[in-house]
Structure 1
Amino acid sequence: MAASAQSLASLLANASLDDPDQVLKAANAAIKKSKADLEAHHVKIVALLHLDRFDDAVKVFGDVPSLHDKARFEYAYALYKSGDAAKAVAVASVAGVQTSRGMKHVLAQAAYRSEDFPQAATVYRELGRQLEQDNEYDLRINSGAVDAQLEWSGQGELAQKKKPGREDLEAFETAFNAACGSISRGELAQAHVCLKRAKGLCDAATNLAEEEKKAELLPITVQQVYVLTQMGKVDEAEQLATTIPFADIEELSTRYIAQVNSIAASKEHSNPFLSHRLFHSSPQPPKTDQHFSFQTNLLRQDEYVLSLLSQKVAGVASSTEKLISASPAPSLSPKVNTAAVLNAAAHARNVASEKAALRELLQLLEKRPNDVGLLLTITHLYVLTGNYAAATHLLESFFKRLEQSGSASDLDVRFAPGLVAILVSLYAQQARPGASKSELAKAAEYWRKPHKSNTQAPSKALMVAAGTALLDTHNPENVIAAGEIFASLYEQDENDRAAVAGLVAAYSITDPSKIPSELLQYLPDATRLISDIDAAGLEDAGVTLGTLSTTNLQSEAQKRTAAKPEAPKPKRIRKSRLPKDFDPNKKMDAERWLPMRDRTYYRPKGRKGKKRMEGLTQGGPVADEKAAPVAGGPKVGGAAAGKKKKGKGGKW
């Protein structure tokens, strides 16, 4: 121990805080003398981290496993910076280890980079509770980035902010993250405003050198090109893209996206073969600067689309088939389902119509019956051809198969919020509200129960829709279930107005005493609700404000029911269809289109007419008529069979 302390003292004596190279040389010299000197190894790792030699630092930890516990913070940081974010999360979140503020920062950033956005959001909330004033700005920047990623990954209900606040537009970093959050929610106009604000703030920043400003403005401009393209302002996007110096963008992931977006916004690249070549000439980012999953999926989709446009149909069909077969079916993975849609496009590339494409894809569905992407493609084609019944039957059959399998993963797919929403939309298109409510209730019941597979929070939009549908049924059991749904949503977010409204509506029917007193402040004041009602006018119209009993209410309802409906207004007939001698004051005969003998007011005259009328009356005597021949019947002779017809002019 004394030797170790002496060697460390010599290291510090020969080191300078501003010279990590000298520290590294001294540490290596001490390690040569004693390879078991943990202090020297620790100093070496810190020096390597200061020199941005993260891979070398990770190698030292691999050579000296005993340093893992001694220098856990440095180990997690080295793993994160070397591109192994998932392992950094595992090291930083070891149970039973006292977590410092610095370790929490590393854990949050590593979770963000490994795309565990819910964990990153949780850690940043914990850091916010023990907030230091100096770090408030950094936390707001990182929390805004996490919120945007939660929206992009389909977990927007976990985001802390749903719209930019005033404080988010005070600095260009927070304004840029606010724009990213707006893009993830599809609010392109709001994103455009935030990006313009971020650009202005960056230009006006006094604490940045000109080179730093240029570096910060490039990602903002790249994002602007994307937003303008999505808004349909292609000319403006193309003009802006020409001002981007791609070679000056240091982050290769951002440079790659910038070049791809410039191809999408350029009219010069209308030649698909040229676009395909430019797309594949973009630089690939290194391991430490990889795209996020949603970006990778979009870029892969762009690659497949360009290949289809370049007549590389067989190649797209083959590569997407490999990707689909490598994943178990059914799958909710965007990567797999996007590949399935493009695989369907490759198979139906040369067909002339939607119906021909349907015939082609239905044969493919027989080979891959649990392919969600292919199934949704066929459903969409059914909708395009107006065959909603077939689309509904296709989804219902798929859901039934998944329910019968009993597999937990299959049931997660069966009750996936997106798929449930599609079926409910089809029911709504066919005016089947009962089926919609039943489907939403089943989905809500599934996600409310704990399962091994559904560890994530259920979709807020699905639960709100299910609770609302259950309330509309006016069934006591359904109303109770709706109250439980809205109660769970209220526990997650006490400021959620949908949860508050649903909870009050459900409890007001089942048990008003259960309504929390703090929720009553959300209810609108009764005087405000009736402020636009003219009581005197209602009284003049015959409405009384006296107390009505249940019997009175029932009798009033019976009176309204028994009242004769008003006669319908006569249909207006154009003058061109009226006869010349038409008299508007004379009522037209409603039965004028019927033969005279079929009219209700017809009364025949004379003895013969009355007798003829009796024969036409239903239930009257039937005249003796000649019977029609019946096949296979024997001829039977009768009393009149032997009579001969009287000859003309003869005598009896």
Structure 2
Amino acid sequence: MSSSIPQAFKSLHITSAESKSDHEHIFEVSYEYLSKIKNFEDVKSFHNCIVALINMDKYHKANILLKEVPKEVSDQLPVEKIYIYYKLGLSSKLNEVYENLSNDINEIELRAIKHILAQHSYQKGDIFKALSLYHELITNNQKIDNELDLACNERAVISQITNHDKFNETSKILSTITDENSYDLLFNNSLIELSKGNLEKSLELLNIATDKCTSANIDSDPQEILMELAPMKLTIAYIYQLQGNISRAKSMLDDDELKNVNDLMINLIIKNNYHSLNKSSEINLIHRDLDYQYNLHHLEQKLIKSQHQTLLQNHLLLSYQSSTISKNSSYLSNASIEKYLKSFPGDFTPIIYKVLLALQIDINDLINIDYNKAISRKLFKYISNKVENDDLKITAAFLLNSVNSKSGHYDQSIYVFEKMTNELINESRLIPSVIGSLINLYETLNHSSKLNQLILSLIEKFESIPQNEIFDNFDLYNLIKVIGFKLINLNDEENANKVFQILKSTGKEDLLIDSISSKDSSKLLPVNSLASSTDVETLLETNIDSLITKPTTSKSIPVSKTDKEKPNKISKKTKKPKFSKHKFYKPDSEFNPEKELDSERWLPLKVRSYYKPSKKDKKRSGGHQGIVDNSQSQPQPQSSSASKSNANKKKKKKGKK
């Protein structure tokens, strides 16, 4: 995003220091005066301390100082206070300060606070709040903020909303500025086109933006130019990847200049995207190279919500595949899972791995189709044992459905989802994902009578749900909408009108529902805008096989008799022995088999010419009764020289080695 926050911060007329040591000196002197002479009640010395700590990026220490001074003193510096909470990710405290702002705050400080709050909302995923704040700043701007910066920030937020299911009329661009020389504006416009799916248009804007950026920064430091160009090049590589042009995407990410960017976040995205293009079996090496745990910790305040979610999902997946995560991992604790579900509602990723690890099912078991029956039995037994946690039970049901889909036998899945759905309807607690899965199963198996019965019972339940609950629950609203369209396909217009009337009564702005209710499609997008720009001839020339992704299949392992008798037991594969680190391979040119290999290596040890029996062996063959001399029956070594040297060796008396 643009530099509106630093500009607003500088406009507060804060005296700057020349180096970090100067800031440290300012802090030490001011803190000494504030704490020992003024007893933490002097605004000017407190202001000097806070600004010095902010310039040194010591936000935790600044937060401690905020707690030391009285509230009436800290409240006189709302911009600095909110900025510290923003850098530390303390959302509740930040919002508390914003809501309790005094009425006599000046316009510059208020705009600076709104900039901070908008950027914080954008980072935390509250994109509609961020856009609302930028619209306020654009509408009320009296040449305080740079219009181009506001336009760039507004478009950065809209690029995240356009691909969002909640996109509506309030998500339109308000800023009218169109500076064709601004590569930042071009870049953000390309992101909007990318989120809409217009890959060619996005790529065109990105190429123009990179050219503008290069020419505008031709006299700048090379590292600064790379920092400006890196996000654009990464986006170009991503578009190539979406288009299936893997070779061009790899060449972009392999660029030496791009790898030399001195930025932790950009380096992580480069590695992450590059590994996603390579089909490597070295999972452990990839996991170590990406080092998600370190990067997620250090980039916590830089990553936006969607980026953090994707990287965390990748971390859990690689940890599971490399067997480096256990069921006692901190990522799978109840507190961590609760926090994850609160941040990313509807994403059960950590619960999936918690169930799999609890049942001792590894990635090889999931891939091998011969273990599907055993895994499904484990999952079915796990669900049937009355698991107290609903999230664990629902996640296990989805896993069971996934395993059943490989074999095409859905008896267990239907039984589980029917039981769950009936319990939810009786408790007036509808979970759209569970109900949607059962509807999908009925449609897959052509159980039309059961499907009709389920839909009728759901309509009856929808009518009893309060309108505000449907309005607030986005997933429930969409479930009701989907069922309405299914009823239209079933030619049941009477019940379809009932469903659409329930949605319309919520008062939610929905052009599709309004057009169905009024039977007027003039407000909807024209059909031409929904059609692809690719012509028919290009589609006919495309090889269909290149568009079909081939599933990765494991080599089938024959099932033994014992496996058939005990299908619920999953046998663990033994790991291959590792070579010692002291062993090494010699090149062929240095290896001489005649000198380095023993010519008698094929003979038993005791009949080799150089064999020397131990004292125990001598005592055993020392003339006791019952001992038979079998030297005649054993094959003799054929090398006379070896026997001669052996005889000479026997004359020498040596100590025990």
Pair 1:202-2:219 in alignment? no
Pair 1:126-2:153 in alignment? no
- Residue 359 (structure 1) aligns with: 377
Kindly report which structure 2 residues correspond to 1:258-297, keeping only aligned pairs within 5 A, or say none. Answer: 258-266=270-278, 269-280=280-291, 284=295, 286=298, 289-297=301-309
* Alpha-carbon shift at residue 112 of structure 1 (Å): 2.4
Query: CA distance change for structure 1 residues 116 and 434 in 2, over 3 Å: closer, same or farther?
Result: same
CA contact (8 A) 2:193 2:199 kept: yes
Pair 1:116-2:133 in alignment? no
Query: CA distance change for structure 1 residues 58 and 240 in 2, over 3 Å: closer, same or farther?
Result: same
Q: 1:339, 1:113 → 2: CA distance?
A: 22
Q: 2:193, 2:454 → 1: CA distance?
A: 31
Counterpart amino acid of residue 303 in structure 1: H
* Alpha-carbon shift at residue 260 of structure 1 (Å): 2.4
- Residue 44 (structure 2) aligns with: 39
Q: Deviations over 1:265-320 (max 9, x none)?
A: 346x542332233233895252663534443343333334334444x27x455539
CA contact (8 A) 1:148 1:177 kept: yes
Pair 1:492-2:492 in alignment? no
Q: 2:397, 2:483 → 1: CA distance?
A: 24
Secondary structure of 2:369's match? coil
Q: 1:365, 1:122 → 2: CA distance?
A: 45
Counterpart amino acid of residue 349 in structure 2: T
Pair 1:465-2:465 in alignment? no
Segments of structure 1 that go 5 or more residues without pairing to the other structure are 1-14, 509-518, 525-652
Correspondent of 2:405 among 361, 375, 383:
383
TM-score (norm 2): 0.60
Query: CA distance change for structure 1 residues 260 and 60 in 2, over 3 Å: closer, same or farther?
Result: same
Secondary structure of 1:291's match? coil
- Residue 550 (structure 1) aligns with: none
Secondary structure of 1:492's match? coil
Pair 1:141-2:152 in alignment? yes
Kindly report which structure 2 residues correspond to 1:195-234, keeping only aligned pairs within 5 A, or say none. Answer: 195-205=206-216, 209-211=220-222, 212-234=224-246
* Alpha-carbon shift at residue 40 of structure 1 (Å): 3.0
Kindly report which structure 2 residues correspond to 1:148-159, keeping only aligned pairs within 5 A, or say none. Answer: 148-150=159-161, 155-156=166-167
Pair 1:255-2:267 in alignment? yes
CA contact (8 A) 1:317 1:343 kept: yes
Q: 1:397, 1:319 → 2: CA distance?
A: 32
CA contact (8 A) 2:379 2:400 kept: yes
CA contact (8 A) 2:481 2:499 kept: no
Q: 1:420, 1:193 → 2: CA distance?
A: 43
Correspondent of 1:400 among 413, 422, 433:
422
Segments of structure 2 that go 5 or more residues without pairing to the other structure are 1-13, 527-657
Query: CA distance change for structure 1 residues 106 and 426 in 2, over 3 Å: closer, same or farther?
Result: same
Q: Deviations over 1:351-381 (max 9, x none)?
A: 5333343223223333546423322222233
Pair 1:66-2:66 in alignment? no
Pair 1:160-2:177 in alignment? no
Query: CA distance change for structure 1 residues 282 and 396 in 2, over 3 Å: closer, same or farther?
Result: closer
What is the RMSD computed on CA atoms of the aligned residues? 4.6
- Residue 547 (structure 1) aligns with: none
Taking only the aligned residue pairs, the percentage that are identical comes to 19
Q: Deviations over 1:191-246 (max 9, x none)?
A: 55554454344334369835333111112323444444454433222222211556
Q: 1:262, 1:422 → 2: CA distance?
A: 34
Correspondent of 2:94 among 85, 88, 93:
88
CA contact (8 A) 2:265 2:299 kept: no
Q: Deviations over 1:567-608 (max 9, x none)?
A: xxxxxxxxxxxxxxxxxxxxxxxxxxxxxxxxxxxxxxxxxx
TM-score (norm 1): 0.60
Query: CA distance change for structure 1 residues 186 and 325 in 2, over 3 Å: closer, same or farther?
Result: farther
Counterpart amino acid of residue 125 in structure 2: E
Correspondent of 1:415 among 431, 439, 457:
431
* Alpha-carbon shift at residue 76 of structure 1 (Å): 0.4
Q: Deviations over 1:38-58 (max 9, x none)?
A: 233234434544565544433
* Alpha-carbon shift at residue 69 of structure 1 (Å): 2.0
Query: CA distance change for structure 1 residues 253 and 381 in 2, over 3 Å: closer, same or farther?
Result: same
Counterpart amino acid of residue 236 in structure 1: R
Query: CA distance change for structure 1 residues 387 and 127 in 2, over 3 Å: closer, same or farther?
Result: farther
Pair 1:173-2:188 in alignment? no
Q: 2:218, 2:94 → 1: CA distance?
A: 33
Q: 2:170, 2:523 → 1: CA distance?
A: 25
Counterpart amino acid of residue 515 in structure 2: A
Q: 1:295, 1:462 → 2: CA distance?
A: 27
Query: CA distance change for structure 1 residues 86 and 434 in 2, over 3 Å: closer, same or farther?
Result: same
Query: CA distance change for structure 1 residues 298 and 118 in 2, over 3 Å: closer, same or farther?
Result: same
Q: 1:158, 1:327 → 2: CA distance?
A: 35
Query: CA distance change for structure 1 residues 521 and 113 in 2, over 3 Å: closer, same or farther?
Result: closer
- Residue 425 (structure 1) aligns with: 440
- Residue 75 (structure 1) aligns with: 81
Q: 1:338, 1:319 → 2: CA distance?
A: 14
Q: 1:221, 1:523 → 2: CA distance?
A: 33
Q: 2:169, 2:413 → 1: CA distance?
A: 33
Pair 1:339-2:350 in alignment? yes
How many residues are aligned here? 482
Q: Which has the higher contact order (CA 8 A, sep 6+)?
A: 2
Counterpart amino acid of residue 113 in structure 1: Q
Query: CA distance change for structure 1 residues 147 and 447 in 2, over 3 Å: closer, same or farther?
Result: farther
Correspondent of 1:504 among 512, 515, 518:
518
Q: Deviations over 1:480-518 (max 9, x none)?
A: 6524524656x636xx3x24412312xx9xxxxxxxxxx
CA contact (8 A) 2:122 2:304 kept: no
- Residue 102 (structure 1) aligns with: 112
CA contact (8 A) 2:118 2:134 kept: yes
* Alpha-carbon shift at residue 72 of structure 1 (Å): 1.6
Secondary structure of 2:255's match? coil
Q: 2:525, 2:282 → 1: CA distance?
A: 60
Counterpart amino acid of residue 61 in structure 1: L
Query: CA distance change for structure 1 residues 481 and 361 in 2, over 3 Å: closer, same or farther?
Result: closer
Q: Deviations over 1:454-479 (max 9, x none)?
A: 85656765464355456776666763
Query: CA distance change for structure 1 residues 242 and 17 in 2, over 3 Å: closer, same or farther?
Result: closer
- Rg (Cα) greater in structure: 1
Query: CA distance change for structure 1 residues 423 and 151 in 2, over 3 Å: closer, same or farther?
Result: farther
Pair 1:239-2:251 in alignment? yes
